[in-house]
Amino acid sequence: MIKAVQNILYFIPIAFIVLFGQTAIAQVNDTIPEDSDYVIPERVTVNNIFIIGNEKTQKNIILREMDIVTDTTYPWDEFINLLLADQKKIYNLQLFTSVEVTPLFVGEEEIELLISVKERWYVIPSIILDLADRNFSEWWINQGRDLSRVVYGLRLSHNNVGGRNEKLKILGQLGFTQAFDLVYSIPYIDKEQLHGLAVRFTYNTNKTIAVKSAFNKQVFYKNENEDILRKSLNTSLQYTYRGSFYNFHYLTFGYSNTSIHEEVLEQNPNYFLHDGTRLKFFYAGYNYRHDRRDNVAYATDGELLSMGINRYGLISSDNVNETEISFMANKYFRLSDKFHFVSGLTGSTYLGPTQPYTLIRGVGYSPNFIRGFEVNVIEGQQTVVHKNSFRYKFLDVELDISKLMPIEEFSTFPIRAYLSTNFDQGYVNDRNNIPENAALTNSYLYGYGLGIDLITFYDQVFRFEYSINSQGIGNFFINIGAPL
């Protein structure tokens, strides 16, 4: 009985740290009465790690995310920091709705860890009802809420095949874009869990396509007979190397084959940069990614760095001869539990002066956007964008809906909401100096405003923003996904 009481007393300050974060480390001594016999140890040894709640997920997938290992002694402060970081990494697998890592003393300097997870629902068949446009505002404002631009179909996602965090996604889509998409990824193909593979096959057709841009907006074309104007096939194989917890290396090889109706060339003779109606090429790319965010869906602390180089055209018979370099650097500053600040820099450059329209880049194409310019595309060969948000969390609740939804994986509905003040700026260099797009290319661009970010079930992010751009035009925009 006395031993059990001692274990509970040992546990209280550690639980305080896990719940309230690293700032709690310095406050632990203040929570212990002066006449208490409890003494924070200088070091601890981890004897065992137990995992509960992982009915489908294999134990080694969870342990792969942990710096802490058994039969190892850690200085106290280092142990607490590792504990907090490991809990975040396990959650960022996006396999669980909640993760708790609880340390329990079994001796004065000996600890056992209990990892408690609540698994998500992994097999998700869903109905596709979406828009073919770049964002909601493009459809609402530029396309006049045209319902013919809706896409619909079925999607089947299995996000934890065999309990090994393998992803399988199958999509069949009709409407504005007819598409079939198959993706299968294996995070680790070796015992050491360092190497992974992913394969993808995509085929789609369109009867209406963007053939160019004019006055910084996409120009769409559809012929009178409603013929298919473009068919695209893309297949790729990606190799992944993860030598450490936060660093990823991706090597991709692929093949692209796109054919168009001859009328497309009448609308834009430079659509493919040659007279033919087919563009085919092999491509290869390398990308390095450093990801130390506290939450990959909506980060409030940490950093994200990505750098890549892509080569389009590998053999002499390819119709493209182009190289693209891109980067992304985001920093997330947690100022307190309620406030955080985010700043991110993205950019890309093509080495060639002109690209086929299917490879076009610039502001308005992911991930480069500037708030206030959601309805615009600013196209060019070099793009740089700097995005900033200062956010205040004013709502954080978890609703119990188990009476309405008896399935355990859907029994709770979390809601977090942030008020954000935003300022973005950027520049697009168009070497070709297309006259009808000159209003926004080769010019300093900026946008600012207020917004509400809503994070809901399974880390879905919805943004409601009012922004004013450097042209003095203000509007209300709805977007899906975190801006950075």
Looking at residues 251-276, what average pLDDT do you find? 93
Q: pTM of the predicted model, to two decimals?
A: 0.82
| Per-residue pLDDT band at 235 (split at 50, 70, 90) | very high
Peptide bond before residue 367 is cis, with ω within 30 degrees of 0: yes
Domains, the chain, with CATH or none: 2-119 (3.10.20.310), 123-480 (2.40.160.50)
Looking at residues 41-63, what average pLDDT do you find? 93
Highest mean pLDDT (candidates 125-139, 261-275, 314-328): 314-328
**Of the candidate ranges 143-147, 324-328, 406-410, 429-433, the one whose mean pLDDT is the lowest:** 406-410
| Per-residue pLDDT band at 139 (split at 50, 70, 90) | confident
pLDDT over 90 at 315, yes or no: yes
Q: Return d(Cα 125, Cα 154) in angstroms, integer.
A: 7
Amino acid at 453: D
State the pLDDT at residue 412.
75
Q: Tell me what the pLDDT averaged over the chain comes to.
A: 86
State the pLDDT at residue 126.
66
pLDDT in tens, 65-119: 999 999 999 999 999 999 999 999 999 998 998 899 998 888 888 999 999 999 9
Please name every residue paired with 56 in a beta bridge, in sequence order, or none if there are none: none
State the pLDDT at residue 410.
67
State the pLDDT at residue 484.
82
pLDDT in tens, 414-469: 899 999 999 999 999 998 888 999 999 999 999 999 999 999 877 889 999 999 99
Closest by Cα among 86, 171, 177 to 125: 171
Residue 406 CB neighbours (<10 A) = 9
Find out whether 357 and 268 touch, Cβ atoms under 8 Å: yes
pLDDT over 80 at 140, yes or no: no
pLDDT over 70 at 8, yes or no: no
**Of the candidate ranges 21-25, 271-275, 279-283, 398-402, the one whose mean pLDDT is the lowest:** 21-25
Q: Kind of pairing, strands 230-241 and 247-260?
A: antiparallel
